Structure 1
């Protein structure tokens, strides 16, 4: 495992900061555009089945995102440990960490998904799903839970590649899996030839198959093509050491990531009080948000390896420069995205809404919440940067403050006085307040660089 590969890897320690971040982020953007666009296609095909199936799949978003967020969080721990280790030049320790990361993440996700499968009715009833929607939810989630182990390879494998400076291969993995999902969706949902129409269950089957492909693809790249993981487990002392390092960052990072879907679950429960149309519209808006913020999400995956490697090498000035350059770009980019969303909002509502009540709520969502996506980007980049500096508890606390002191409470209070409009405005204000806090705290530590040395793992 090396920090530089002529074809795919960037030299994170020596190449110009802005150029390196751009070269790492662009491939990730392309991969995420394909992946998230095809996820949106998934929602579109389900919407053709009617408002109830769309509402049912909207209820699943917080739960599926919880499992995905756990995997992403453990991937953050994996990336931070490997990138810092590579920054110090310890390639064998990095390979050990990558191997152990795949093992422990598989175990944790299997346990969590099994619990979700067993307590599915209780979970979705708590979220506000009506009894008549539970069979539709089961059609989707039962298969999704059983196939969720397929998430592990792409999530952790891509984190390993990014840690070494390769964002090209992860983009191919994500894009290919997304394409497979999009191609299979209409076949399984509506039927084709000998394949029967499966409805919402077909959407879940398409997702599971795309994950299985991603797992096979990334395993081949890591184990055989790039030699970034061992084909057998290292000895117990190495497993214990690597697991401890990864979990020390990965568990708080996973906890912070899982707070987002938990907050989304609370928001969904609040929205459910306004009826199925509101839930369906909120689900569409959430998918639109994932597309609108894909550049931020891509940067949240490419900025941490850059920071971790330079942190390991002692290049603190490059860490500070990278963070501030990224924040400025994200603000300007999301302002432009907001303008585009306003222009195309009539097209979006006509594509996803079969009822006028759903269309009206989607339009309301589009006019208010995207105003705060740049602010939300600052929060996301700050959290990922603290994890990269091996300060996961700080990132976790910031997530708690954002979601349960600002975002959800302000949205709830707004809904009490002004309905759905107040809910969306309250969420926007929550992102504003938290962006100010996050930016201030991250830059404050550079006034006393000695505080950075306390983040050793």
Structure 2
């Protein structure tokens, strides 16, 4: 899962790296797109969580035919919901990014990128939800290969479409979106072939209305709260981007680079958040709560130590990272400041992410959603904003760390309470 997640996250990082070679305005423009694109991706993640929970339960019960039905319904639902969200986003490109404080100078670049990205997001939904079906059936290797293949294809095509090659004209920032579009079409075709033909894990046809309603209802029961929790992150990120934008395009560019690097720095956390839930849910189903507690505790201890190592590596390499992503000295300076402060809280952020995924595995998606609301809109945004008022941009960065520490403690105590509650029902 780690290998596959690294390649999946490389989409945004590689795009950012090549776009940074075009100039600071283009880098700032793609940085503005991150909270918006992650909103759509978060919907896919939530639907994947719901899909995995339902398919895994059906597979464990031996209900193979129902499993195929729900797999097909999940894919149809993802295309419908993501397509609707993408269409709305496309129609509102200008008002959304003006609300984020994107300047008029950046809007042409943002339009070029997002007009293609929204179209391609529909194809992203198929491999993301389809991979959840494979994982629920016990296969974590193939989803990693699919993600790695898509990431490699995107990385290979980025310079071709951004800078031009042979008969292909230079498309600039739009070329990054075109490369991603092609990579996602490739991933969508691959996963459909695997599920429908090679593995026979789905019904190779469109469901009728009754079948679709039956499957969609169950997936959304878990998937929508999980999607809502995930979609809150980019919404809060959008608010923070607007705050950062008051410090200029250089600050936004550094913030965008930092967010892309955070995705890579948290890769082990994200991989664990996909592998810990099956262990949690299986042992809850078997009433083996000592094993649930042990698995949760081991994962948290490991991730706290691991993220300290990650912070040290980022801090040590901050100079070279800044030089790789920034053409201007001011941008490089702010990237180094980001890397010296914000990654301090990544371990605590890992506690929060693993707790939420464990709560979803315990069929407590609403509890996870409430924790996400508290984390982002009671702690993360307000504390960071107050920090920026008191100590400017460094205060905003330190506010991120403080918010993660406070929320990690609240998440840990909530999990302990829910585990005790489950035990008392025996």
Shorter-chain TM-score range? over 0.9
**Residue 124 (str. 1) matches residue 97 (str. 2):** yes
Match of 2:240 in 1: 267
Distance 1:212 1:441, change over 3 A: same
Match of 1:85 in 2: 58
Distance 1:314 1:216, change over 3 A: farther
Match of 2:221 in 1: 248
The alpha carbon displacement at 1:241 in A equals 2.8
SS in 1 for 2:170: coil
Match of 1:174 in 2: 147
Correspondent of 1:410 among 367, 375, 383? 383
Match of 2:371 in 1: 398
The alpha carbon displacement at 1:236 in A equals 4.6
**Residue 379 (str. 1) matches residue 328 (str. 2):** no
Distance 1:239 1:428 in 2: 44
SS in 1 for 2:105: helix
Query: Is the 2:44–2:227 contact (alpha carbons within 8 Å) kept by the matching residues of 1?
Result: yes
Distance 1:72 1:34 in 2: 16
Query: Is the 2:341–2:397 contact (alpha carbons within 8 Å) kept by the matching residues of 1?
Result: yes
Distance 1:397 1:164, change over 3 A: same
Query: Is the 2:11–2:180 contact (alpha carbons within 8 Å) kept by the matching residues of 1?
Result: no
Distance 1:319 1:83, change over 3 A: farther
Correspondent of 1:281 among 250, 254, 258? 254
SS in 1 for 2:161: helix
The alpha carbon displacement at 1:308 in A equals 2.9
**Residue 30 (str. 1) matches residue 3 (str. 2):** yes
Distance 2:157 2:114 in 1: 18
SS in 1 for 2:317: helix
The alpha carbon displacement at 1:33 in A equals 1.9
Distance 1:264 1:347 in 2: 26
SS in 2 for 1:89: coil
Distance 1:452 1:95, change over 3 A: farther
**Residue 229 (str. 1) matches residue 202 (str. 2):** yes
**Residue 343 (str. 1) matches residue 326 (str. 2):** no
Deviation larger for 120-129 or 77-86: 77-86
**Residue 424 (str. 1) matches residue 397 (str. 2):** yes
Distance 1:227 1:134, change over 3 A: same
Deviation larger for 66-75 or 146-155: 146-155
Deviation larger for 29-38 or 246-255: 29-38
Distance 1:398 1:412, change over 3 A: same
SS in 1 for 2:101: coil
Correspondent of 1:68 among 41, 44, 65? 41
Matches within 5 A, 1:444-455: 444-450=417-423
**Residue 139 (str. 1) matches residue 122 (str. 2):** no
The alpha carbon displacement at 1:107 in A equals 0.4
Distance 1:447 1:261, change over 3 A: same
SS in 2 for 1:387: helix
The alpha carbon displacement at 1:92 in A equals 2.7
Query: Taking structure 2 as the reference length, what is the TM-score of the superposition?
Result: 0.97
Distance 1:306 1:162 in 2: 13
Distance 1:355 1:235, change over 3 A: closer
Distance 1:233 1:111 in 2: 18
SS in 1 for 2:106: helix
Distance 1:134 1:209 in 2: 24
Distance 1:103 1:313, change over 3 A: farther
Distance 1:148 1:142 in 2: 11
The alpha carbon displacement at 1:359 in A equals 0.8
Distance 1:38 1:113, change over 3 A: closer
Query: Is the 1:39–1:182 contact (alpha carbons within 8 Å) kept by the matching residues of 2?
Result: no
Query: Taking structure 1 as the reference length, what is the TM-score of the superposition?
Result: 0.90
Q: Deviations over 1:97-155 (max 9, x none)?
A: 21111011110001000000001100000001011111110010001111211111111
**Residue 189 (str. 1) matches residue 162 (str. 2):** yes
Match of 2:27 in 1: 54
Q: Deviations over 1:242-262 (max 9, x none)?
A: 211110111111110000000
Correspondent of 1:355 among 328, 336, 361? 328
Correspondent of 1:294 among 244, 263, 267? 267
Superposed CA RMSD in Å reads 1.5
Distance 1:155 1:183 in 2: 21
Query: Is the 2:258–2:335 contact (alpha carbons within 8 Å) kept by the matching residues of 1?
Result: yes
* Unpaired runs of at least 5, structure 1: 1-27
